[in-house]
Amino acid sequence: MQNYFYIKMSDEETGKISSLGLAHIGDAVYELMVRVRLCERGRFTSAGLHSAAVEYVNAPKQAELAKKILPFLTEEEKDVYRRGRNAKVGSVPRNASVSEYHAATGLEALMGYLYLRGRLDRLNELFEIMMEG
Protein backbone atom coordinates (compact mmCIF):
# COMPACT_ATOMS: atom_id res chain seq x y z
CA MET A 1 0.00 0.00 0.00
CA GLN A 2 1.25 3.47 -0.91
CA ASN A 3 1.96 5.83 2.00
CA TYR A 4 0.87 9.20 0.60
CA PHE A 5 2.16 11.05 3.65
CA TYR A 6 5.69 9.90 2.99
CA ILE A 7 6.53 9.64 -0.67
CA LYS A 8 10.03 9.13 -1.99
CA MET A 9 9.96 9.21 -5.79
CA SER A 10 13.05 8.86 -7.89
CA ASP A 11 14.35 11.63 -10.13
CA GLU A 12 13.03 9.64 -13.09
CA GLU A 13 9.55 9.41 -11.57
CA THR A 14 9.35 13.11 -10.72
CA GLY A 15 10.74 13.89 -14.17
CA LYS A 16 7.57 12.41 -15.67
CA ILE A 17 5.39 14.90 -13.80
CA SER A 18 4.78 18.24 -15.51
CA SER A 19 5.80 21.45 -13.79
CA LEU A 20 2.14 22.30 -13.33
CA GLY A 21 1.59 18.85 -11.79
CA LEU A 22 4.41 19.53 -9.33
CA ALA A 23 2.85 22.94 -8.59
CA HIS A 24 -0.53 21.28 -8.01
CA ILE A 25 1.01 19.04 -5.33
CA GLY A 26 3.16 21.88 -3.97
CA ASP A 27 0.15 24.14 -3.56
CA ALA A 28 -1.44 21.58 -1.22
CA VAL A 29 1.82 20.93 0.65
CA TYR A 30 2.42 24.67 1.16
CA GLU A 31 -1.14 25.29 2.34
CA LEU A 32 -0.97 22.39 4.78
CA MET A 33 2.32 23.71 6.19
CA VAL A 34 0.80 27.19 6.60
CA ARG A 35 -2.27 25.77 8.32
CA VAL A 36 -0.20 23.68 10.73
CA ARG A 37 2.00 26.68 11.54
CA LEU A 38 -1.04 28.85 12.26
CA CYS A 39 -2.63 26.21 14.49
CA GLU A 40 0.53 25.69 16.50
CA ARG A 41 0.94 29.45 17.01
CA GLY A 42 -2.39 30.05 18.74
CA ARG A 43 -6.08 29.57 18.94
CA PHE A 44 -8.23 30.84 16.14
CA THR A 45 -11.84 30.41 15.20
CA SER A 46 -12.45 28.60 11.95
CA ALA A 47 -13.00 31.93 10.19
CA GLY A 48 -9.89 33.36 11.84
CA LEU A 49 -7.78 30.44 10.63
CA HIS A 50 -9.09 30.88 7.12
CA SER A 51 -8.38 34.62 7.12
CA ALA A 52 -4.88 34.09 8.48
CA ALA A 53 -4.15 31.36 5.92
CA VAL A 54 -5.34 33.55 3.03
CA GLU A 55 -2.65 36.09 3.98
CA TYR A 56 -0.02 33.47 3.04
CA VAL A 57 -1.75 31.39 0.40
CA ASN A 58 -1.96 33.85 -2.47
CA ALA A 59 0.24 34.56 -5.48
CA PRO A 60 1.63 37.95 -4.40
CA LYS A 61 2.70 36.63 -0.98
CA GLN A 62 4.12 33.43 -2.47
CA ALA A 63 6.08 35.47 -5.03
CA GLU A 64 7.52 37.54 -2.17
CA LEU A 65 8.48 34.37 -0.28
CA ALA A 66 10.03 32.83 -3.40
CA LYS A 67 12.40 35.82 -3.64
CA LYS A 68 13.34 35.28 -0.02
CA ILE A 69 14.53 31.69 -0.56
CA LEU A 70 16.11 32.02 -4.02
CA PRO A 71 19.61 32.75 -2.62
CA PHE A 72 19.45 29.53 -0.57
CA LEU A 73 18.47 27.17 -3.40
CA THR A 74 20.78 24.58 -4.90
CA GLU A 75 21.21 24.51 -8.68
CA GLU A 76 18.83 21.54 -8.89
CA GLU A 77 16.21 23.42 -6.88
CA LYS A 78 16.67 26.56 -8.99
CA ASP A 79 16.06 24.47 -12.11
CA VAL A 80 12.79 23.09 -10.70
CA TYR A 81 11.74 26.59 -9.64
CA ARG A 82 12.53 28.02 -13.10
CA ARG A 83 10.63 25.24 -14.88
CA GLY A 84 7.60 25.94 -12.70
CA ARG A 85 7.91 29.69 -13.11
CA ASN A 86 8.15 29.35 -16.89
CA ALA A 87 5.25 26.89 -17.24
CA LYS A 88 2.44 28.01 -19.48
CA VAL A 89 -0.56 28.77 -17.28
CA GLY A 90 -4.10 29.22 -18.53
CA SER A 91 -5.10 32.31 -16.58
CA VAL A 92 -3.89 34.63 -13.85
CA PRO A 93 -6.02 35.59 -10.82
CA ARG A 94 -7.17 39.20 -10.59
CA ASN A 95 -5.27 39.85 -7.36
CA ALA A 96 -1.87 39.00 -8.91
CA SER A 97 0.36 40.25 -11.69
CA VAL A 98 1.57 37.79 -14.32
CA SER A 99 5.08 37.82 -12.85
CA GLU A 100 3.76 37.21 -9.32
CA TYR A 101 1.64 34.30 -10.51
CA HIS A 102 4.57 32.74 -12.37
CA ALA A 103 6.86 33.13 -9.33
CA ALA A 104 4.19 31.56 -7.10
CA THR A 105 3.84 28.66 -9.54
CA GLY A 106 7.62 28.19 -9.44
CA LEU A 107 7.57 28.11 -5.65
CA GLU A 108 4.73 25.60 -5.62
CA ALA A 109 6.52 23.40 -8.19
CA LEU A 110 9.63 23.39 -5.99
CA MET A 111 7.61 22.48 -2.90
CA GLY A 112 5.83 19.71 -4.78
CA TYR A 113 9.14 18.38 -6.10
CA LEU A 114 10.78 18.33 -2.66
CA TYR A 115 7.75 16.63 -1.15
CA LEU A 116 7.57 13.95 -3.84
CA ARG A 117 11.32 13.30 -3.60
CA GLY A 118 10.93 12.73 0.14
CA ARG A 119 13.13 15.69 1.02
CA LEU A 120 11.03 16.76 3.96
CA ASP A 121 13.96 18.18 5.95
CA ARG A 122 14.82 20.49 3.06
CA LEU A 123 11.17 21.41 2.58
CA ASN A 124 10.92 22.36 6.26
CA GLU A 125 14.21 24.27 6.12
CA LEU A 126 13.04 26.42 3.19
CA PHE A 127 9.62 26.92 4.79
CA GLU A 128 11.26 28.20 7.97
CA ILE A 129 13.33 30.68 5.92
CA MET A 130 10.15 31.87 4.22
CA MET A 131 8.37 32.37 7.52
CA GLU A 132 11.22 34.22 9.29
CA GLY A 133 10.69 37.84 10.20
Query: Contact, 112 vs 24, CB < 8 A?
Result: yes
Compute the distance between CA of residue 126 and CA of residue 86 in angstroms, rounded to an integer: 21
Query: Contact, 19 vs 112, CB < 8 A?
Result: no
Torsion of CA 125, 127, 130, 133, to 10 degrees: -80
Taking each helix axis from N to C terminus, what angle separates 59-69 and 120-131, rounded to the nearest 10 degrees?
110
For this structure, is 121 an active site residue?
A: no
Largest Cα–Cα distance in the chain?
A: 43
Q: Choose the catalytic residue: 11, 27, 79, 121.
A: 27
E runs forming strands in the chain: none
Indicate which residues carry an active-site annotation. 27
